[in-house]
């Protein structure tokens, strides 16, 4: 959802609605087959990946996503707070 990470220039990048499009289209397609009440999604909306920090419109992005998901009446939306995810180090000899 991050405008810092999603730099696409097609219908899946740019605006908030475009950055949300893939997930919402996927949910809608699955819901058409099995019903929204059997679908759950999980997000870390304010999590940080490596050195990507806060981006412009972050709160607006997630409030918009919450509204869009609420309209779909899913089984659940799980929000996880994970402030930073750093690159994992592979121990020497691992997998050798």
Per-residue pLDDT at 14: 86
Number of domains in the chain: 1
For residue 49, what are the domain limits?
16-79
Residue 75 domain-assigned (yes or no): yes
Does 5 reside within a domain? no
Q: List per-residue pLDDT tens for the chain, 96 residues long.
A: 777 778 889 999 889 899 899 999 999 999 999 999 999 999 887 776 666 666 788 889 889 999 999 999 999 999 887 766 555 566 677 655
Q: What separation in angstroms does the CA of 38 have from each of 20, 33, 41, 54, 88? A: 20, 10, 10, 32, 34
Residue 57 located in a structural domain: yes
Predicted pLDDT of residue 26: 97
In a domain, 36, yes or no: yes
pLDDT value of position 96? 53
Residue 56 has what pLDDT? 80
Q: How far is CA 85 from CA 1, 19, 21, 28, 49, in A?
A: 16, 21, 25, 30, 5
For residue 51, being part of any structural domain is answered with yes
Residue 33 falls inside a structural domain = yes
């Amino acid at each position: 959802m991050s405008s810092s990470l999603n730099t696409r220039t097609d219908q899946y990048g740019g605006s908030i609605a475009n950055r949300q499009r893939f997930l919402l289209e996927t949910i809608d397609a699955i819901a058409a087959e099995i019903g929204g009440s059997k679908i759950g999604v999980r997000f870390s909306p304010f999590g940080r990946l490596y050195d990507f920090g806060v981006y412009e419109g972050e709160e607006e992005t997630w409030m918009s996503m919450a509204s869009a998901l609420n309209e779909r009446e899913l089984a659940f939306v799980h929000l996880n707070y994970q402030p930073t995810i750093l690159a994992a180090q592979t121990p020497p000899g691992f997998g050798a």
